[in-house]
Amino acid sequence: MVERNPFVTVIVTGVPGVGKTTVLTHVASILDGEGTAYVLANFGDYMLKVAKELGLVSHRDEIRKLPLRKQLELQEAAARLIREDALSKLGSDGVLLVDTHTVVKTVTGFWPGLPRGVVLELKPDAIVLVEAAPEVIVSRQERDKTRDRRDIGSVEKVAELMQMARIAAMASATLVSSSVFPVENIEGNPRAAAEKIVELVKMLR
């Protein structure tokens, strides 16, 4: 039998700049409003913390440029720490939301964000694919001066990565029988995608 966590687990993914982190702040505020217990874990935050402790990077957009075996160590550490945090904070009526990627564009090629080791640790019920038109994503990247997404910063590169992200989502889902749930992050209305994700959460148990 496929194992599940006591709490519902949803992994929210999408190409850099599509708006995952933004949409998830709205999911969090909806769950706060209804009094649902949740843990919102940004996978990159966990990787960044470990990477900084090891003196490997100073900014999150440098992580995907590290040697691949270093990224693998950070990825495995992040998955383990997120699971430990969620298990210590959530009961069976809670929700774990993980903000991450099904594929990461590294200098060594397209690399799975949710390989076997990671999905076996997190045991997602569903993998959400946040999407938008490539032109819209590029304009969001350009407006966001807090990040350096130049390595994925053209319509062609975003479209290619979106295609890889869909393939990678289904491949990861197959390993642990998760559903794959595409949702559009509409320009000017991130709350609409958040509401769809909250509806999804209700249908998983």
Question: Could you say which of ligand ATP, Mg ion, ligand AMP, none residue 63 binds, taking C-beta under 5 to 8 angstroms by partner kind?
Answer: ligand AMP
Q: Which two tokens stand for residue 55?
A: 């003196």
Q: CA torsion, points 14, 19, 21, 26, in degrees to nearest 10?
A: -120
88-127 residues near ligand AMP, rule: CB under 6 A: 100-101, 104, 113-114
Beta-carbon count within 10 A of 99 CB: 21
The distance of closest approach from Cβ of residue 106 to Mg ion in the complex, given in angstroms and rounded to an integer, is: 17
Q: Does 22 bind Mg ion (CB under 5 A)?
A: no
Residue from 10, 11, 14, 183 touching ligand ATP (CB under 6 A): that is 14
Nearer to Mg ion, 21 or 139 (CB): 21
Q: Does 139 bind Mg ion (CB under 5 A)?
A: no
Q: Does 185 bind ligand AMP (CB under 6 A)?
A: no
155-194 residues near ligand ATP, rule: CB under 6 A: 185-190
**Footprint on this chain of Mg ion (rule: CB under 5 A):** 21
**Footprint on this chain of ligand ATP (rule: CB under 6 A):** 14, 16-22, 140, 143-144, 147, 149, 185-190
